[in-house]
Structure 1
Amino acid sequence: MTTPSFLTDFHRVAEIGATPNHGVDRQAATAEDRETREWFRTFAQTRGWEVRVDGIGNQFALVELVPGAPYVLLGSHLDSQPLGGRFDGAYGVIAGLHAADRIANSHAAGDAAAPRFNLAVVNWFNEEGGRFAPSIMGSSVFAGIMDEAEMLEVRDLRGVSVREALDQIGYLGSDARPEIAAYAEIHIEQGRILEREGIPIGAVDSSWYTQKLDIEVLGEQSHTGATLMSDRHDALLGAAKVIQRVHEVTDQFPPETLVSSVGQLTLEPNSPIVVARRVHLVADLRADDEAVVLAARDRLLADIRLIEAEHGLTIHARDFDVRANQHYPESGIRLSEEVAASLGLGARRIRTMAGHDSVAMNRIAPTVMLFIPSVDGVSHCEREFSRDEDMAAGVDFLTEVARRLLTGALQAE
């Protein structure tokens, strides 16, 4: 059974960067992010585990069980969205640490099956992408999908680079990355399926196709009071119409087939008496079917050309952060179903609409992705919530999955 220490630790970490409405604000490489990293380091070092930080700020706690062997890696991320929820990401890291602690104790007591691999827990850098785009940065660099040098030069809206920000909090590392044999991540669902069906565990079988459009709308700066309406080239008006089209494109497909949004917008010169000359925004398109996303993209680009001509603007739109569908190993899904049966917990196969670090890791290692229920399916906001009993059951589940991974369960086939 789960010891109270997991819940104690979870709720303690939720105090770091806490917001008035029970969320957290711990954006990547901020002082609050540093505090959670220090908590992670202390947890590991007090147990005698080695701690490493790599060149993109990923933080690892290493539990040596078989000297020289690769590692089964557990984890998620401790960074959050602005005014985000306290469960997203952090749950998976803290669950991973406690699963590793249980396994290490069993191994020391001689109560565990002989492992083939070592065990490690990771706190991935900048999964959320709220401060530095793109998201899922640390795990993507680890997996070789993104270039480390290029990502270190990415800048936030204030002009601070990833390199500078990590250096400022003391987490621009240079340690060797561990060789991994398998990866497992547990996360809140961020949807309603598990709660609606009363099932405690979701075994993720695939991810949606996602892509973003990086859009720059260029107009002409002019006086809001002295410039005739017919003489204006208002970048903000053009951007507003683009945003509307991004929302409306979902109506051209069957319900719940496609989701879209614009979540970030910057405006220049951002003065109340100046017609905007430049707006930058990012459109996000996601569907289970790649063809749907590509069709929506093409329709948006056609709409953008019309808006450009109507208002005398120049609009640049480029593909950005494109992520293909990922299918998780059937052997890992079956393993999750076997663990569910052994623990007397219900489980179902489920797809993820959101991106996770496991999407990157699944490219390079056998990967298991698990969900626990989210109340009302709410996420990326302060109202995000998962019940203590669901979190505790998830830790039990992750621990058993990790035990089996350590004995080579995904390498057997």
Structure 2
Amino acid sequence: MTTASPGTSTAASSSAAASSDAAFLTDFHHVATFGATDNDGVDRQALTLEDKQSRDWMRGWAEGNGFEVRVDAIGNMFVCLELVPDAPYVLIGSHLDSQPLGGRFDGAYGVIAALFAALRVKENVAESGQKPRFNIAVVNWFNEEGGRFAPSIMGSSVYAGLFDLDEMLAVQDLEGTSVAEALAAIGYNGTDAPPEAISYAEIHIEQGRILEREATNIGVVESSWYTQKLDIDVLGEQSHTGATAMADRHDALVAGAKIVLAVADVVNEFADEALMSSVGQHVVEPNSPIVVPRRVHMVADLRSSDPDIVKAARDTLHQQIASIALEHDITIKVEDFDVRGKLYFPETGVELAEKAVANEGLSIRRLETMAGHDSVAMNHRVPAVMMFVPSVDGVSHCEREFTTDEDMIRGLGVLTNVATELVNGELSEDREGEVWVGKSVAEARA
């Protein structure tokens, strides 16, 4: 009988970790080929054929590694591992869909890192013989991006009870295809019951440059910004661009352009970086080179850490839009849309992430998230942990979005650590009865 040297176990463990890291990177860069663009980005909008490719890959990965795959009625994919019969599940994951001409890291990194973290949890449980308290499942949330179907963060919001399932299935894209039709078209109109969550964790690229600027390895989210959109319909009158006198025109696009500038300029009424605003989508009708536009539909986006700032900016824009409508003798309809309150993530979850980072010998800092994420929706239902890895130049929703392999590997290690703690029972005591309610600003300050 040969006795192993004291360093054998450590060396074998290091070799296994390196092999797992390499496999993760191989799979991550392979998934980035689904919908790949010429400039190293991806165009993998929800329920397109490219999205189906990534979903099929995930299904194959899960089945090949001994996980059960479930797809619910809104198209969320769950890769489940039962460790404790009849126990609820720790959910970890993100989303595989992208923006048009988007980046290959946003969302996909979090899903693929979660798959490998869950696999490591599975292997560690088998090797140690220890019995955890909860099961684990990796989730690919449907339509987080909202590029094809609005609103965004759709699948996780349906799961969390924030959006109505039937209403979301009826949502149509610009071509008139409904979510229900698109799910059926690619074979992901599921009927499975989703796993019951006990907690949730997500890792994501920062989409900002704080971590890069401060040379910090990991960010942990302690709160989400207050956000809201304005659905704006500018209704003018269609007419001939050459024959109609300028004084007789009711040009929806000219009025719409003034609204876009008003949305951009409203930030100047507040401190620097206190408010983010944009108009990201426009639909112009009839969109003919010789016709004065009769209609412009747009969605304005307002975000701030301070809810009162968003509300003040909204009121200012309502007044300015009313003046623009009067000036151009047209009708402009404005409706509140996709309003998300500011919530705090559980302090125990923040501390859990900080402990996990310390165990990995890395640096960490607390952040707010200005962007919306599935973790924000899930934080309404169960205690959620949200972590960031650095983004080069802070660029996102863009083909040149980039995060290094080294930073992705560091994040995978941290997520594995967090997932291990969660299946062993961390955060389970943070639930308020059967349903977790993320803290509002008022509750957090009380």
Output the TM-score relative to the length of structure 2: 0.92
8 A contact 1:139–1:361 mirrored in 2: yes
Partner of 1:189: 206
Structure 1 outlier segments of 4+, above 4 Å: none
8 A contact 1:202–1:371 mirrored in 2: yes
Which stretch of the first structure deviates more once superposed, 391-400 or 42-51?
42-51
Task: State yes or no: 1:114 paired with 2:137.
Answer: no
In structure 1, distance between residues paired with 2:245 and 2:191: 57
- What is the letter of the counterpart of residue 68 of structure 1? D
Partner of 2:89: 71
**Aligned with 1:361 (options 378, 381, 384):** 378
**Aligned with 2:59 (options 12, 23, 41):** 41
Task: State yes or no: 1:53 paired with 2:71.
Answer: yes
Task: State yes or no: 1:22 paired with 2:43.
Answer: no
- What is the letter of the counterpart of residue 89 of structure 2? Y
Cα displacement (A) at 1:106: 1.5
Distance 1:356 1:60, change over 3 A: same
8 A contact 1:141–1:148 mirrored in 2: yes
Partner of 1:90: 108
- What is the letter of the counterpart of residue 114 of structure 1? K
8 A contact 1:103–1:112 mirrored in 2: no
Bigger Rg, which one: 2
1:288-367 correspondence to structure 2 within 5 Å: 288-367=305-384
Partner of 1:257: 274
In structure 2, distance between residues paired with 1:96 and 1:207: 22
Task: State yes or no: 1:13 paired with 2:31.
Answer: yes
Partner of 2:438: none
Cα displacement (A) at 1:338: 1.1
Could you say what secondary structure the match of 2:111 adopts? helix
Partner of 1:101: 119
Give deviations 1:321-368, integer Å, cap 9, x for gaps.
000011100000011111111111111111100000000000010110
In structure 2, distance between residues paired with 1:113 and 1:359: 32
Cα displacement (A) at 1:264: 0.5
8 A contact 1:113–1:407 mirrored in 2: no
Cα displacement (A) at 1:114: 2.4
In structure 1, distance between residues paired with 2:377 and 2:265: 30
Cα displacement (A) at 1:409: 1.1
In structure 2, distance between residues paired with 1:113 and 1:407: 10
In structure 1, distance between residues paired with 2:429 and 2:200: 15
Identity %: 64
Gaps of 5+ in 2: 1-16, 431-446
Distance 1:389 1:112, change over 3 A: farther
In structure 2, distance between residues paired with 1:341 and 1:102: 19
Partner of 2:436: none
Partner of 2:14: none
- What is the letter of the counterpart of residue 57 of structure 1? G
In structure 2, distance between residues paired with 1:280 and 1:404: 47
Give deviations 1:183-239, integer Å, cap 9, x for gaps.
000000000100111111101000100000000000011110000000000001000
Cα displacement (A) at 1:112: 6.0
Partner of 2:5: none
Partner of 2:175: 158
Task: Indicate the RMSD between aligned Cα atoms, in angstroms.
Answer: 0.8
Gaps of 5+ in 1: none
Alignment coverage as a number of residue pairs:
412
Cα displacement (A) at 1:411: 2.3
Which stretch of the first structure deviates more once superposed, 132-141 or 342-351?
342-351
In structure 2, distance between residues paired with 1:318 and 1:329: 32
